[in-house]
Structures are given as C-alpha cells and as structure tokens.
Amino acid sequence: MSVSNNFSTFCSNLKMSDNIISKIQKRYKRITKRINQEYRNLDSETSYSLYVGSYGRGTEIWTSDIDIIIHLPYKIYEKYNNYIGNGQSALLQDVKRALQKTYATSHIKGDGQVIGINFDDYISFEIVPAFINKDGKSYTYPDSNNGGSWKTTNPRAEMEAMKNRNLLTNKNLKRLCRMARAWKDNCNVPISGILVDTLAYKFISEYQHKDKSFLYYDFISRDFFKYLKELDKETDYWLAPGSNRRVYKSGNFQSKASSAYKLSLEAIQYQDKEYWYSANNKWRDIYGTRYS
C-alpha cells in the first residue's frame, strides 16, 4: 500500500467505463442525426455537433452530464431573431419538438438555455442549439430568460487551454479536476464543474509539484484545498481559461474546502506513521468510496 498506488487506483475509478462511453457515443450520434435531418435534411451522425462541458474538456467523471452544441444554419437564427416576442424560447421549443420525434421525454432545462434528455441509466444529455460566429470558433446561443437574449460561448478555446496546460503538467490538471469533482459530489460542495476546472487551471499553473507523479497526489490534494479555502469570499466570478468568460460562483465553497484541507492534513499524518487504514478513511471522507 502506498500513496502512489492508492491515488493511481482512485483516478482510474473516476473514469467512465468503456460501456458507458460506448453508450454516450451512440446517443451522441443519434441526437446529431435527428437534428441534422430536421434542420439540414442531412443524415450525418457527426457533422455540425461538438462535445462541450466537462466531457469536451476531458474532466468528466462517472456522474457527469454530457453537453453537446448543435450548430444550426444561420437562416434559423434569422428566423427566431426576427420574432417580436421571445424568439429564443421559441427556438428551444422547436428543437425540443424535433428531438421528441426520437426522444419523447426531451425537456427544456430550468436554466432556459438547453434541452435535456434523461435516460433510464442516469446518463443525461444537455443539448445547446447554437450558431457559429464569423470567427469560426465561438457560438451564439439562446437564453430564454428575462424576455430572451443571445449569448456567446467559446468552448473550443476552453478545451484547447485545458489540453495545453494538462500536457505541461504531466496530465495532472485533468486528474485534479476529476478528483475535485468527486469531492464536490461526495461533500455536496456548491461549485460548478466549469468553476472547478477554472480554479484548478489557475492553481496548478504556478504549483511547485505540478508535473510530479501520483506519489505527490496527497500534497496536490492538500494544497489545492488550501488554495480554495483561502480564496476571497467576496469574489463573485473568475475568468475561464481560454475564453475568459465570467464563471460565477454558486455558493460558499471555501468552508467545504477548509474541512477537506483539515482532513487531508490528518490523512497525511496517518500516512507518515504508516497507519494506512486510518489514512484511507480520511481520504474517503473527502473523495467518497471510489478512493481505494
């Protein structure tokens, strides 16, 4: 038993199984084909769609939703932008109607920006209809809240930034993001997935052990929780890597981070004495039962 083996096993346990990934890919293709048939008279299962969110950034764990952007023709934007009333809501309703030809339970999510599909095996998809901008990279998408508006997102820039920094940190960035998601789920931390990724990205850029092996993952965990707990509670948002969009907090995650930091100190103290059973119980208090 060792720190390296325990955290290596833990990181493996966080990944989606090959069976789940296969299901995701099949459903992604079916959703894409349905929308392409509806709006482009095209049977392609892969054209004009893009994995985004944690799955697109490669920071997902087994509980993650699957986010997809579906690129619609510009004439559809012109149609709904010319609505006198909330054209954004009307667009979402139209895409929902199209998806219901294949998935009868499709629904518009409470944030008024995506269409959701919840499957019986607890894999959930969130579909964002969007229009490519002139830069060929960013997208305009509908927000039906407060009478309707158009918003902009640049997921490719975020994915590229995460990919590049992950390579510079011996793949530790994305592993840290996944571990932080396990902590978020296990401890009911009020923090979004994109904020986890944003703060992990900022933390690891100057971190002294950023390119070390699994042997240092107890220190990486401890120091990341210390970083989180010391962030100013008055700060409302941080800038996402790559896109620099504002990522707002959803609650006080610092207090949960403080508790996790204390538990990590205790776990490391037990490890130093080779009390592995006690140490592992402390890590499980932080990360849940997927920690070996």
pLDDT reported for residue 228: 98
**Sign (positive or negative) of CA dihedral 197, 200, 204, 206:** positive
Q: How far, in Å, CA of 97 to CA of 39, rounded?
A: 12
The model's pLDDT over 83-112, given as tens digits with 9 standing for 90+, comes to 988 999 999 999 999 999 999 888 877 678
At the second CATH level, the architecture of 18-153 is: 2-Layer Sandwich (3.30)
Query: For residue 207, what pLDDT band results from cuts at 50, 70 and 90?
Result: very high
The model's pLDDT over 230-285, given as tens digits with 9 standing for 90+, comes to 999 999 999 999 999 999 999 999 999 999 999 999 999 999 999 999 999 999 99
Q: Is the pLDDT at 44 greater than 70, yes or no?
A: yes
237: Cβ contacts below 8 Å, ≥ 6 apart: 246, 247, 248, 249
User: For residue 74, which of 133, 128, 154 has the smallest C-alpha distance?
Assistant: 133
In one-letter notation, the amino acid at residue 133 is: N
Token pair, residue 117, equals: 């599909």
The model's pLDDT over 155-183, given as tens digits with 9 standing for 90+, comes to 999 999 999 999 999 999 999 999 999 99
**Domain boundaries of the chain, sorted by first residue:** 18-153, 157-287
Q: How far, in Å, CA of 131 to CA of 89, rounded?
A: 15
User: For residue 265, which of 215, 213, 218, 224 has the smallest C-alpha distance?
Assistant: 218
- Specify the pTM: 0.93
Token pair, residue 3, equals: 């720190």
For residue 241, give the 3-state DSSP assignment: coil
